[in-house]
Structure 1
Amino acid sequence: MTPESPEVAEAAPPEAAAPNRRRLTAGEVREYLLAHPGFLAKNPEVLEHQALPARADADGHRVVDFQRALVDRLRNDNAKLRSFQSEVLTAARANVSAQGLVHEAILLLLEAESFEHLIHAITLDLAPMLGIDVVTLSVETLEAAPERPSLQNFYLVPPGTVDGLIDPGRLVRLISEPPEDTLIFGPATPLVQSQALARLDIGGESPLGLLALGSREATKYEPGQGSELLGFLAGTIERLIRLWLRPTD
C-alpha cells in the first residue's frame, strides 16, 4: 500500500464505493498519517471527534498538557460557534418570514376602499395575517368617561393613555406580560400574554392613537427584540389614516 492510496479512496464518492470494500486497519491509518504530517492541519475538524491520550513525564507522572487543553478549548469554541450560527440562521429565517407577512398586510391596507374599510382591515384582518390573536386600534378622546364605540377592536381611551403606555419620544414598546386592564384589548384581554404597542401620531388637530398587537404566546413579544417591522407597519397606518382624513375639495 502506497501513501497515496488512501487519498484515492477518499476521492471516490461514497455511492461509487463497493458495498464490501475492505476497511482500513489501524496500522494503515497510522501509516497514512505519518506519511502525510499536514493532514490534520488541513482537516482540523477531525480532531474534534478524537479522544486524546493523557501526557506523562519520564517518571510516569501525569503532567499538564497545554496542547490538549488548547484542543479542548477549540472544540468548545467550535461547538459554541455552531450553536450561535444555528441561532442566527433561525432568527434570520424568522425575520424574513415576518417581513413577508408585514408586506402582505400593508398591501391589504392599501386596498381599502373607504376609511371604515381601512379600520375594519386593521382591527379584524391583520391578526390572522400576522399569525397573532388580536389587533386593536385606540384613539384618545377629551371626554372624561368615553363610551366605547360599537366597532369591534376599536376603542376610545382617555387623554394621556398613549404616553402612559409608551414613553414620550418612543414609537414602539414590546411587553412580555399580560395587560394590566381591559382598556386596550377589551374582551380579548384574557388571551393576551405578550403585547406590542405602537404610537400613532396622525398630526394636526388629530388625537394620538395606539396600534396594539396581542398574542397568547408569552415569548412572542419581548423587550430587546427588533421592532423595525412594527414601526414600519405603524408608520404606514399613520399615513393611510391621514390620507383618508384629508379634506377634499
Structure 2
Amino acid sequence: MTDSALAQLLRDKIISDPEVILGDQDLMRALVAASDSAMGANVVDLRGVAMARLETRLDRLEDTHRSVIAAAYENLAGTNQIHRAVLRLLEARSFPELLSVLSGPVAETLRIDSVRLILETKQRGDDPALAALGEMLGIADPGFVADYMRRGHGGPARAVVLRRIPATRLDVGLTAGLSGSTTIYGEAGTGENGGWLRSEALMRLDLGPGRLPGMLAMASEDPDLFRPSQGTDLLGFFAGVFERTMRGFLG
C-alpha cells in the first residue's frame, strides 16, 4: 500500500469514526502541540491552555477519587475485622477463656503480633490465681496506665493511643512497676534495638466504680499498622466491648 493510499485510508477512518482520535489523550496532545507549532512562537492558544489546565484538574480528581475509594475499602475491611473480633470476645464464658480468645483468635483476626492486658493494683504481691493466667496479664502500680499512654505528649491521657514504638525503648523507666518484665510486651519488647515490635495501639479500660483502670495493649512488627493519623473509633468500640465483658467476669 502506497503512502497516499494509507493516508486516504486513515482519513476515511477518522472521518467515519472521529472518536478514535477524540478518545485518545496522547493523540489529542500531539495534535494540539502541532497546532501550536504551526501558529508560531508569538501566538498563544488560550483554548489550549484552558484544556491543559482542565486536564490537570481532571487528573487530580481521578487521583482523589481513587484515594477515596481505597480509603473506603480499607475502612470497610477494618470494620469487618473489628466486628469479627468482637463476636469472638462474646463467646468467652470465663475470664481465663477471655484472655485465651484475646491472645489467639482475636489477635489472628486483627493481625497483631502481641497483645497484653495491664491491670493496676494497690496490692503488689504474688497471687497464684493471677500467675496462672500467664504472661498475657501484667500487674502494674497505680498511675502506670496514664503515664504509659501519655508518653511522648502532654495533657490528659486519651482513651485510645496509636503510635510507633521507637527502635530505642523510651518506656523502661515507666514499666519499672510492671511485674514480670521491664516492658509491657515481655521478651518481644526487649533485646537489641528494643525488640521487633514497631507500632502499638493502647486502649484505656474503665473497669467500673471503685476499681483502678486497666489497659489493653496491641503491638505489631509493622511500623505502619498503628499510626497517630489513623482514626480510633473502631478500636474505641472494641475496647468498650472488652471492658464491659471484663466487668461481667469481675462481678
SS of 1:96 mapped into structure 2: helix
**1:102 to partner: Cα distance:** 1.3
Instruction: Give the TM-score, by structure 2 length.
Output: 0.74
Structure with max Cα Rg: 1
Gapped runs of 5+ residues in structure 1? 1-22, 34-38
Alignment-derived partner of residue 177 in structure 2: none
Alignment-derived partner of residue 82 in structure 2: 102
**1:240 to partner: Cα distance:** 0.4
* Higher normalized helix content (fraction of residues): 2
Alignment size in residue pairs: 216
Q: Distance in 2 between matches of 1:118 and 1:84?
A: 42
Alignment-derived partner of residue 177 in structure 1: 165
When residues 146 and 66 of structure 1 are mapped into structure 2, their CA distance, relative to the original with a 3 A threshold, is farther
What is the aligned counterpart of 1:76 among 42, 45, 56?
Answer: 56
| 1:58-137 correspondence runs (5 A) | 60-137=40-117
Alpha-carbon contact 1:140-1:209 (below 8 Å) kept? yes
SS of 1:61 mapped into structure 2: coil
Q: Distance in 2 between matches of 1:228 and 1:48?
A: 45
Alignment-derived partner of residue 55 in structure 1: 36
Alignment-derived partner of residue 222 in structure 2: 217
More moved, 180-189 vs 146-155: 146-155
SS of 1:212 mapped into structure 2: strand
**Taking CA–CA contacts closer than 8 Å with sequence separation of 6 or more, which of the two structures ends up with the larger relative contact order?**
2
Question: Which letter maps to 1:102?
Answer: I
Alignment-derived partner of residue 4 in structure 1: none
Q: Distance in 1 between matches of 2:209 and 2:22?
A: 65
**1:71 to partner: Cα distance:** 1.5
**1:69 to partner: Cα distance:** 2.0
Alignment-derived partner of residue 192 in structure 2: none
SS of 1:173 mapped into structure 2: strand
Alpha-carbon contact 2:198-2:220 (below 8 Å) kept? yes
| 1:168-207 correspondence runs (5 A) | 168=156, 170-178=158-166, 180=170, 181=172, 182-189=182-189, 190-207=195-212
**1:44 to partner: Cα distance:** 7.8
Q: Distance in 1 between matches of 2:243 and 2:112?
A: 21
The RMSD of aligned alpha carbons is 3.0
Q: Distance in 1 between matches of 2:23 and 2:164?
A: 41
More moved, 82-91 vs 173-182: 173-182
**1:142 to partner: Cα distance:** 2.1
When residues 57 and 28 of structure 1 are mapped into structure 2, their CA distance, relative to the original with a 3 A threshold, is closer
Alignment-derived partner of residue 148 in structure 2: 165
Q: Distance in 1 between matches of 2:149 and 2:76?
A: 27
Instruction: Give the TM-score, by structure 1 length.
Output: 0.74
Alignment-derived partner of residue 226 in structure 1: 231
SS of 1:159 mapped into structure 2: coil
Alpha-carbon contact 2:201-2:218 (below 8 Å) kept? yes
Alignment-derived partner of residue 122 in structure 2: 142
**1:141 to partner: Cα distance:** 2.0
SS of 1:136 mapped into structure 2: strand
Seq. identity, %: 31
When residues 83 and 145 of structure 1 are mapped into structure 2, their CA distance, relative to the original with a 3 A threshold, is farther
Q: Distance in 1 between matches of 2:27 and 2:113?
A: 47
**1:48 to partner: Cα distance:** 6.8
SS of 1:187 mapped into structure 2: helix
